[in-house]
A and B are shown apart, each in its own frame.
Chain A
Amino acid sequence: SQTIHQWPATLVQPVGSPLSLECTVEGTSNPNLYWYRQAAGRGLQLLFYSVGIGQISSEVPQNLSASRPQDRQFILSSKKLLLSDSGFYLCAWAGDPYGYTFGSGTRLTVV
């Protein structure tokens, strides 16, 4: 069966520290992958999407970057976190027919 894993579940990081969030998909090949962010009281903001290894599209200019080093791995990174990077980060893949399957999310608090 196909599953999506996202970790860590929660993360508290100081301002200026680096960030690496990982998302992996099992049971499929060449998935379309997405990173979303939810800030408190706001909807889903698409940050990045990828249709293949090394192919990253950025939707919003910001302090974050994404990489796709392997077919089923999608990484969200930052060199120096800002307070405004706090939020709930969700990885998704276009696995459900015509829709998305979401990971369980990472709650990031920048202090």
Chain B
Amino acid sequence: AQSVTQLDSQVPVFEEAPVELRCNYSSSVSVYLFWYVQYPNQGLQLLLKYLSGSTLVKGINGFEAEFNKSQTSFHLRKPSVHISDTAEYFCAVSDRSSGSARQLTFGSGTQLTVLP
């Protein structure tokens, strides 16, 4: 079984400042890692994912995340945020070996609020 911890429930940041949203996971097996974004009253949209290879993953809207196996972390970063980045962000993991029966385990979410 896996678990995901998003350490910050709310992150306020000023426009054009950098931001880091933290995600730590726990798993006894190898995992795939994901970040999703949810705008108000909408479904979740995939930002980026780590499957294998380079530990630095680039996603949409200028976001990137780095997989750190030793620290079991997958923190999301953006060097300069915009008002439009205000949303809730979810980190998720799935078991590499589960195949077609895969299930994602989600963190509790981080509300990013970009202030003018």
Interface residues of A (CB under 8 A from B): 6, 32, 34, 42-44, 46, 49, 51, 88, 90, 92, 94, 96-105, 107
Contact = CB atoms under 8 A, between A and B. Distances in A.
A107 B41 contact: yes
Q: Which of B43, B45, B94 has the most CB of A within 10 A?
A: B43
A57 to B, nearest CB: 10
B25 interface: no
Given A51-B100, A107-B41, A98 B109 contact: no
Nearest to A100: B104
Nearest to B101: A51
A72 to B, nearest CB: 16
Contacts of A98: 32, 49, 51, 94, 102
B104 A99 contact: yes
Interface of B: 32, 34, 36, 41-46, 49, 51, 90, 92, 94, 100-104, 106-109
Nearest to A9: B41
B21 to A, nearest CB: 14
A102 B102 contact: no
B109 to A, nearest CB: 5
Nearest to A31: B100
A32 B44 CA distance: 17
B101 A90 contact: no
A98 B41 CA distance: 25
A43 B108 contact: yes
A88 B41 CA distance: 8
Nearest to B43: A102
Given A32-B101, A90-B44, A99 B108 contact: no
Contact of A44 (B41, B49, B90): B90
Nearest to B51: A98
